[in-house]
Structure 1
Amino acid sequence: MGFFTMLWATLCLPFLFLCLKTAFSSSLHASSFSTTHLCSQEEAAALLQFKTSFSINSTVYNPSLCEIVYDIKANYSKTESWKEGIDCCSWDGVSCDNVTGHVINLDLSCNLLSGTFPSNSTLFLLKNLQSLNLAFNDFRLSKIPPEISQFTRLKHLDISSSQFSGQVPVEIAHLPKLVSLNLSNLFTFDSNFFDLDSSHKLILETTTLRNLVQNLSEVRELVLCGVNMGSVNPCFFMNLSSSLTTLYLLNTVLRGNFPNSILRFPNLKTFGLSGNENLTIDLPSSNWSSPLQHLNLSPMDCGGRLPESIGDLKSLQYLSLSCNLEGSIPASIDASRFWKLWYLDLSYNLLNGTMPPWIFTLPLLEILRLNHNQLEGQINQFQQNSLEELNLSNNRLQGSIPNSISNLVNLSYLDLSSNHFCDLLVSDMFSLQNLESIILSNNNLSLRDNVDANLTLPKLTYFDLSSCNLSEFPNFLRHSDGLQSLLLSKSSIHGNIPKWIWEKDDLRVLDLSHNNLGGKIPNYLPKSLSVLNLQGNNFDGTIPFWFTESCELENLNLHGNQMDGLLPRSLVNCSMLEVLDVGNNNINDTFPHWLESLPQLQVLVLRSNKFHGFVDSTKEGPSFPNLRILDLSSNYFVGALPIRYIENFNAMMDTHSDDSFPEYMTMSNGSYQYSLVVIIKGLEYELQGILTILTSIDLSENKFGGEIPDVIGKLNSLKGLNLSHNNLTGPISQSLGNLTNLEWLDLSSNELVGEIPDELLSLTQLSKLNLSNNHLVGRIPKGKQFNTFGNDSYEGNLRLCGFPLSKSCDGIGKLPSSFQEKDESWRFGWRVVALGYGCGVVFGLLMGYHVFRTGKPKWFVSLFDGRLSQSRRKTRKARRVVPRRS
């Protein structure tokens, strides 16, 4: 899952549950109705026939999710109780009218049904049906049958997350008694709960929506999350009945300005628009709906300031506004008016000023998110103990961390990272038995262990004190057996890694990068370790051969140590490995061809070691198909450029990459964002997030020879290509003109000859070009990006002419006759040299980089310095972040 998807999920997951857990009270517990009359044989036969239309598949939904939404705990099918000879009114999920015996309610939610939904289903014979719930089944992208209009008495319809697809039929607007309608399509049947990429399978067009609004005069609850309404004008929603109580339109591709008059509807209690990035709404300055309890506009665009009038919402329980708000938090909001509030999220805005004191006194507040704003000043002491999540990260808060945090006995998630806190923390502060995550990184904090306290944190799984002043390991963590992520990078820790860290078998992420740690890495690792980041330390010796067949590593980063010896071949057992960075060490080995079999490998950095020999593949077939970043620079590789590998770099051939919404490489569960040291345009950067659109090849400072192969022109998603400081000969390949996404190209300090091909004018994204110190001749191409490059892009090529050089070209680009004679003589000499190379002559290597002087590429500025929020709730706890009903 990418960064923006993760951000959307972090902000909106609680509201997604609310999307499903709406007041479909008549259908959620249909089987609870008592019956005194036998159902008709015709209706019983219709239900049995419907049952035979589907198979039972225990994998079609997530059981924990159904438990959260529908209070269904057992993983079984209700239709198993449907048998001939038994009154159908006693079947699970079926309830009947006490007088007539007609089936009036059918609840088959989370029923494990799998198969296509027939348009002639016998279900439509149940003419008296008033409530139908088919949520969380798998109807395999069936169309919603138009015959649904036959349920003329239907009041409640829930077919959410059941894998319907296609256009919502206009006939659904012919249900005159419909009170609640849920067509949500966000959740899938895997362990991820929901999948934004696979939503929008259902399409609601303008005509259908217009009929819905006009005909369903009784509708009170309308839930359309994940339904594609990209062609709909938001103004149509103005005509909904003023009796509306619930409207959820999360992630619906709506665009334009949504009418804020809905927020004045007299009966509106719940309203959500989040996940519609092209949708805006102006918050009303007055006359809000007084019964409003749940409001979610995160993330989208509200703009402007948070109006004072929001303080009139005395019934508010859930407020989430991450929508570009600015200014200070209004004084009209206070604890007396918002005393029912249990969820407050004003994160990712531009709010400034200090935190208002009423926030620290809200008696029922469980979730507080004010992260990613511009708040300043100190934090008051907390006067309530109901908080379960506290996130004030990425602000300008300062001073000490209040010791009243130790009184928040229900606290499970604490994030105060990236502020200006200056404090000496005592380990006793964290003696909270429910704490699962502690994130205090990027502050001026130090820590003192209380040696007299027997501190145990039984639920702690995530601990991050990176970029603090620790000087030593927090030993109180030795008793936290459930620890899964330990992040202590850039914390001035010295010495050896204590043995107790290596003994934590549930540990998945260990980031101790950029400290003063030394010694040797032990021959054993926690079995479940997925990320090991030890870059920027002083570890020495060989890399241990501890990669067994059960290896779960996804990221191994040993960059910038003193490791020597060979690269262990046992790494081939790490089939999930995505990033391998052993750059800037003393490893003495040949190219690790055996890594080409790793199916997930995307980043391979062997820079600045003593690797030597030939690089190209020794076998036929796919190799490194997912590799996006390859850095072999500053080694001793020889021979031609690796043509066979280049032919298989499929991930660098994607012409459909989208720079508008970049994603970041993360650990498979999204709890850790990878970092990487890269050379971009000749300058070294440590990226705190690796964009999936970043594709680059750096083979500089080796002894590669021969010509630049034409096949390299197939890598049309490349952002950067550096082949400098080698022995490359021949002309610049015209195929480089196909690299239309290229932003930097360095071919300097080689033996290249001939003219600069005009095809390079196609590189309209190119912002850095270095062709210096070769034997290029002729006229420099004119126009487009070439008009922006300076003399340093071409210096050391005495036979080049034209802008920006002071040497002009005669006529239409021919060199003066004196230059032509010298050039022909030089060309003859080059042919002799080429023949010599074919016999084994290798030219000397020009050492050192030619450093570029300009800034970062256009997409680089969007990098975030920080880590993705980890999943903060286990499934069993997700129920408590579902907005409650009054």
Structure 2
Amino acid sequence: MGIFTMLSITLCLPFFFLCLKTAFSSSLHLCSHEEAAALLQFKTSFPINYTVCPPDYSKTESWKEGIDCCSWDGVSCDNVTGHVIALDLSDDCLSGTFPSNSTLFLLKNLKSLNLSFNDFRLSKIPPEISQFTRLKHLDICYSEFSGQFPAEIAHLSKLVSLNLSNLFSFESDTVVVSSLGNLILETTTLRNLVQNLSEVRELVLSGVNMTSVNPRFFINLSSSLTTLDLRYIQLRGNFPNSIFRFPNLKNFYLSGSFGERNLTIDLPSSNWSSPLQQLYLSVMDCGRRLPESIGDLKSLQYLHLHCNFEGSIPASIGNLRQLTSLYLSNNQFSGPIPASIEADMFSALQNLETIFLSYNNLSLRMNVNANFTLPKLTDVSFSSCNLSEFPNFIRHSNSLQSLVLSKNRIHGNIPEWICEKDHLQILDLSHNNLSGKIPNCLPKSLSVLNLQANYFNGNIPFGFPERCVLRNLNLHGNQMDGLLPRSLVNCSMLEVLDVGNNSIQDTFPHWLESLPELQVLVLRSNKFHGSVQSTKESPSFPKLRVLDLSSNDFLGPLPLQYMENFKAMMDSHGQDGSLEYMMVAPGGNSYQYSLVVTLKGHDYELQGILTAFSSIHLSNNMFEGEIPDVIGKLSSLKGLNLSHNNLTGHIPPSLGNLTNLEWLDLSSNELAGKIPDELVSLTQLSVLNLSNNHLVGRIPQGSQFNTFENGSYEGNLGLCGVPLSKSCDGIGTPPSSFQEKDELWRFGWRVVVLGYGCGVVFGLLMGYLVFRTGKPKWFVSLFDGRPSQSGRKMRKARRLVPRRS
């Protein structure tokens, strides 16, 4: 053995013994038998449902007896003692009631616990959670806990981060949607929590019900706080603006209740000493004007203000050189910004990635001296900003993903440089004065193309590529003609196709049956013709929820074969009141789909399509034959309109199964027989029109039928009973006393219908319009028959009722 070899061994021996000692030490500190047993017992409390959870998805699947629990997925142990100190079971398919005697509470050494995104089925948060005296990180957001927070949670004094968020929400340019969870935080618990969390840095309470809490308690928060998230917490009163002087606060989110402005906060006119990086204030009163001092927040990267501000946008916004996201939509900012200030303000924001200024009273120019570029820009939304031209500074933003310029006065053609935006996913130019032909060179990356309510003419471009990723194509309300391009079958992800109110002349596009994701098909007010019968025996349109073929020249029987396969319309499980909308969200910015619906003969544009919304509109065609019974199986239907056709036979009693129905129009047909008593079970019905048929007998009474007036039944000479003056006893006009009682009864029900018959669709429409206008004038206009402007054009007159131009 040489000297060199001996020297090498001598030098390596210490490292060898160190490794041996470490391995030996580790073997002595495996997960304890008691803690492993506690975890295995906890696992048995939540058996995995493999119908909703893929195999091997849950972390607890790796938990096996006889294997060191420190090696299990989601389990972390102390390297020295072997105690379990961290447990991460987030998004783990845990489903079931959380027991108060859970063996999880035996893990006394836990420092981090994450149970977020599970389903504990509205369990109460056990008071035993206070036994985790060493806990520093607790995250139980979106886990379906309910009830009041136990007072014992304030004993977790070592917490550094606490996430109790229980909120589903999203905001877009047109609507704010929030769905509060079931957790309640009362005054005493919050006061103790705030006072005891002396080391907390991150506190997330969004969506928690704090109706009884006084906002002043938040003054006592730890000065070490870096993040405070209080979105949609139902606070009332004045929030202390001393929060803006917290020395370490980087992220602050605060918003009031949807539809209310009972929460106020006064923005400082100077001395914003906190190093804010993200500031979110929404649906609340922040004062009339945004102070120029906002420009003092030099570290600000994200600014979202939705506070009904008036006046001008402060020029000091241009001082926020670190800003990446600027959201000032849905305020009352007004007036033209001087061209020089406008250019200087925006050109300075070279890090800007998203800019939202929609729905103010601004008059943006964006072209005068607008020779600057914003190279990092990805998302632009300038809806309703009085623009007359395309903003020139966008031209060289090569990373652009979303461009929304709807509801402006932009005229002319779509500029050629749009075709060069290879990353563009959303293009919304709806409700402008654009004209000419739609260019065939639009990016192949588009997910949404909304050109509704313009003056485009000619054929729809035929060049939809084989791997088309389009999910929403809306050409409603233009002057398009020719055929519907068959290349649309290449868009296998297409969810919404709306070509209504054009001059397209074609037969029913049976080939759309092959689109597996199609949910909304609108062909209304065109020149489609022929029968609407399936050419396939296999199921077609399985996900279709909205079908509008109205005001065309379709003939023959109603499309029975299609109706038998409308599986999505037969599923009423989505009728639970949840506010889920069809949307896309590239880069995290949501874009929701819109839809024009017809109520009482007028068009209304819904700024959002609920995933639970279903309707069939086949009016103003030449369909004939009987109404098929299978319609009664479409249990999720909100609206059914078969009016102005040549339908014969009786009204099927099976329509009484459509318990989610909110409007039913069978007027101007050749229907005969009695009105089925089964229709009384339609307790959500708020619009009924059976006029101009050959119906006979007594009008059913009870429930919603007590709210409908003469117009629902006129033109049926054989009908009798309330609300008609014709009695069913053959005597003639009822006595005057009966008439007075009947008028009083119907007047009372006109009031009741406000809250009783609106249902989900009218409720959401009311919420949106009240939110946008602050007034309930929509209800008056709706029932006076005043339609919204949706770009509808005059169509040829035939045997139909006159249409609005």
Contact 2:334 2:362 in 1 (8 A): no
CA RMSD for the aligned pairs?
Answer: 3.8
Contact 1:283 1:307 in 2 (8 A): no
| Highest RCO, 1 vs 2 (Cα 8 Å, sep ≥ 6) | 1
Contact 2:147 2:182 in 1 (8 A): yes
What's the CA shift string for 1:145-200, capped at 9, x where partnerless? 9xx9999763832425373736587343334444x2222434xxxxxxxxxxxx33
1:626 matched to 2:543: yes
CA distance in 1, matches of 2:353, 2:262: 32
Compared CA separation, residues 636 and 218, structure 1 to 2 (3 A) = closer
Q: 1:234 Cα shift? A: 2.9
Alignment-derived partner of residue 570 in structure 2? 653
Pairing of 1:779-818 with structure 2 (within 5 A) = 779-810=698-729
CA distance in 2, matches of 1:550, 1:865: 42
Alignment-derived partner of residue 257 in structure 1? 185
How many residues align? The count is 679
Which among 528, 532, 556 is matched to residue 445 of structure 2?
Answer: 528
CA distance in 1, matches of 2:121, 2:240: 36
Alignment-derived partner of residue 459 in structure 1? 376
1:390 matched to 2:326: yes
CA distance in 2, matches of 1:223, 1:446: 44
Alignment-derived partner of residue 678 in structure 2? 759
What's the CA shift string for 1:216-246, capped at 9, x where partnerless? 33444433334443367432323x1445444
Alignment-derived partner of residue 296 in structure 2? 361
Alignment-derived partner of residue 34 in structure 2? none
Q: 1:642 Cα shift? A: 0.6
Contact 2:323 2:352 in 1 (8 A): no
Give the match's secondary structure for 1:486: strand
1:447 matched to 2:365: yes
1:329 matched to 2:265: yes
Give the match's secondary structure for 1:776: strand
Compared CA separation, residues 490 and 152, structure 1 to 2 (3 A) = same
Q: 1:269 Cα shift? A: 2.3
What's the CA shift string for 1:311-359, capped at 9, x where partnerless? 785554432222446354247x675474333333222334443335544
Pairing of 1:414-813 with structure 2 (within 5 A) = 425-426=342-343, 429-430=346-347, 432-442=349-359, 443-450=361-368, 455-658=372-575, 660-667=577-584, 669=586, 671-810=590-729
Letter in 2 for 1:733: P
Contact 1:700 1:724 in 2 (8 A): yes
Contact 1:153 1:177 in 2 (8 A): no
Letter in 1 for 2:62: F
Compared CA separation, residues 541 and 203, structure 1 to 2 (3 A) = closer
Structure 2 runs not aligned, ≥5 long: 1-16, 32-56, 168-180, 733-756, 773-805
Which among 11, 29, 40 is matched to residue 23 of structure 2?
Answer: 40
Contact 2:355 2:380 in 1 (8 A): yes
Letter in 2 for 1:369: H
CA distance in 2, matches of 1:732, 1:149: 72
Q: Give the alignment's TM-score, normalised by structure 2.
A: 0.76
CA distance in 2, matches of 1:544, 1:513: 17
CA distance in 1, matches of 2:159, 2:601: 60
Which among 316, 319, 330 is matched to residue 252 of structure 2?
Answer: 319
What's the CA shift string for 1:243-269, capped at 9, x where partnerless? 544432223965233411211226142
Q: 1:306 Cα shift? A: 1.1
Contact 1:605 1:630 in 2 (8 A): yes
1:303 matched to 2:230: no
CA distance in 1, matches of 2:346, 2:242: 38
Q: Give the alignment's TM-score, normalised by structure 1.
A: 0.69
Q: 1:549 Cα shift? A: 1.0
Q: 1:609 Cα shift? A: 1.1
Compared CA separation, residues 795 and 368, structure 1 to 2 (3 A) = same
Compared CA separation, residues 41 and 304, structure 1 to 2 (3 A) = same
CA distance in 1, matches of 2:364, 2:465: 38
Letter in 1 for 2:670: E
CA distance in 2, matches of 1:588, 1:163: 52
Compared CA separation, residues 680 and 307, structure 1 to 2 (3 A) = same
CA distance in 2, matches of 1:122, 1:797: 79
Compared CA separation, residues 432 and 628, structure 1 to 2 (3 A) = same
Alignment-derived partner of residue 248 in structure 1? 163
Structure 1 runs not aligned, ≥5 long: 1-33, 49-111, 127-131, 187-198, 407-424, 814-853, 868-886
Contact 1:343 1:367 in 2 (8 A): yes
What's the CA shift string for 1:447-489, capped at 9, x where partnerless? 25356x7533322222222223332223443322222222222
CA distance in 1, matches of 2:79, 2:411: 74
Give the match's secondary structure for 1:528: coil
Q: 1:426 Cα shift? A: 4.3
CA distance in 2, matches of 1:200, 1:35: 47
CA distance in 1, matches of 2:120, 2:458: 55
Compared CA separation, residues 790 and 151, structure 1 to 2 (3 A) = farther
Give the match's secondary structure for 2:481: strand
CA distance in 2, matches of 1:642, 1:278: 48
Compared CA separation, residues 212 and 605, structure 1 to 2 (3 A) = closer
CA distance in 2, matches of 1:472, 1:357: 29
Contact 1:427 1:450 in 2 (8 A): no
1:156 matched to 2:85: yes
Contact 1:164 1:201 in 2 (8 A): no
Letter in 2 for 1:267: S
CA distance in 2, matches of 1:714, 1:745: 15
Compared CA separation, residues 768 and 474, structure 1 to 2 (3 A) = same
Contact 1:699 1:724 in 2 (8 A): yes
1:343 matched to 2:278: yes
Letter in 1 for 2:362: N
CA distance in 1, matches of 2:328, 2:488: 40
Compared CA separation, residues 427 and 318, structure 1 to 2 (3 A) = closer
